[in-house]
Amino acid sequence: MTNSICEFEDADLFLVTGSNTTAQHPLIGSRIINAVERGAKLILIDPREIPLAAFAELHLRQNIGTDIAVLNGLMNVIIEENLYDRQFVADRTEGFEALKAAVSRYTPAVVEMITGISAADLTRAARMYARADKAMLAYAMGITQHITGTDNVKACANIAMLTGHVGRPSTGVNPLRGQNNVQGACDMGGLPGVFSGYQPVSDEAARKKFERAWGVEGLPAQAGLTLGGMLEAGRKGALKALYVMGENPRISDPNLGSVDLALSSLDLLIVQDIFMSETAALADVVLPAACFAEKGGTYTNTERRVQLTQRAVTAPGQARADWEIIADLCRRCGLEAPYTHPGQIMEEIRSVTPSYGGITHERLSKTYGLQWPCPNREHPGTAFLHSAQFTRGKGSFQPSDFTPQGEATDQDFPFTLTTGRIYCQFHTGTMSRRVDLLEREAPEPLVEIHPEDAAKLGIRKNDLVEVSSRRGSIRLKADVTTRVPRKVLFTTFHFHEAQVNLLTNPACDRTSGIPELKECAAAIRRCP
Q: Which residues are at the interface with another protein (CB under 8 A)?
A: 22, 26-27, 29-31, 33-34, 37, 51, 54-55, 365-368, 423, 436-437, 440-441, 443, 462
> Which CB atom, from 307 or from 398, has the smaller least distance to another protein?
307
- The total of other beta-carbon atoms located within 10 Å of residue 29's CB is 23
> Which CB atom, from 156 or from 449, has the smaller least distance to another protein?
449
Rounded least distance, CB 316 to another protein, Å: 13
> Which CB atom, from 198 or from 423, has the smaller least distance to another protein?
423
Those residues whose C-beta lies under 8 Å from the C-beta of residue 287, and which sit 6 or more positions away, are 270, 271, 272, 325
Query: Angle at CA 270, nearest 5°, toward 265 and 273?
Result: 130
Whole-angstrom distance between the N-terminal and C-terminal Cα of the chain? Answer: 48
What is the SS3 assignment for 412? coil
d(Cα 49, Cα 47) in Å, to the nearest integer?
A: 7
> Which CB atom, from 19 or from 22, has the smaller least distance to another protein?
22
Computed from CA positions of residues 333, 334, 335, 337, in that sequence, does the dihedral angle turn out positive or negative?
A: positive
> Which CB atom, from 21 or from 150, has the smaller least distance to another protein?
21
> Which CB atom, from 336 or from 444, has the smaller least distance to another protein?
444
What is the SS3 assignment for 5? helix
What is the SS3 assignment for 224? coil
**Burial of 384 (C-beta count, 10 Å sphere; 0-12/13-18/19+):** buried
Residue type, 171: T
- DSSP-derived secondary structure letter, 4: -
Q: 467 near 473, Cβ under 8 Å?
A: yes
Rounded least distance, CB 309 to another protein, Å: 12
Rounded least distance, CB 220 to another protein, Å: 42
Q: 181 near 297, Cβ under 8 Å?
A: no
Backbone angles phi, psi at 90, to 5 degrees: -70, -45
> Which CB atom, from 37 or from 217, has the smaller least distance to another protein?
37
Rounded least distance, CB 99 to another protein, Å: 38
> Which CB atom, from 74 or from 308, has the smaller least distance to another protein?
308
Q: 367 near 108, Cβ under 8 Å?
A: no
Rounded least distance, CB 378 to another protein, Å: 20
> Which CB atom, from 477 or from 526, has the smaller least distance to another protein?
477
Rounded least distance, CB 440 to another protein, Å: 4
Rounded least distance, CB 513 to another protein, Å: 33
- The total of other beta-carbon atoms located within 10 Å of residue 421's CB is 17
Rounded least distance, CB 49 to another protein, Å: 12
CA neighbor of 250 nearest in space, from 502, 421, 490 = 502
Rounded least distance, CB 279 to another protein, Å: 22
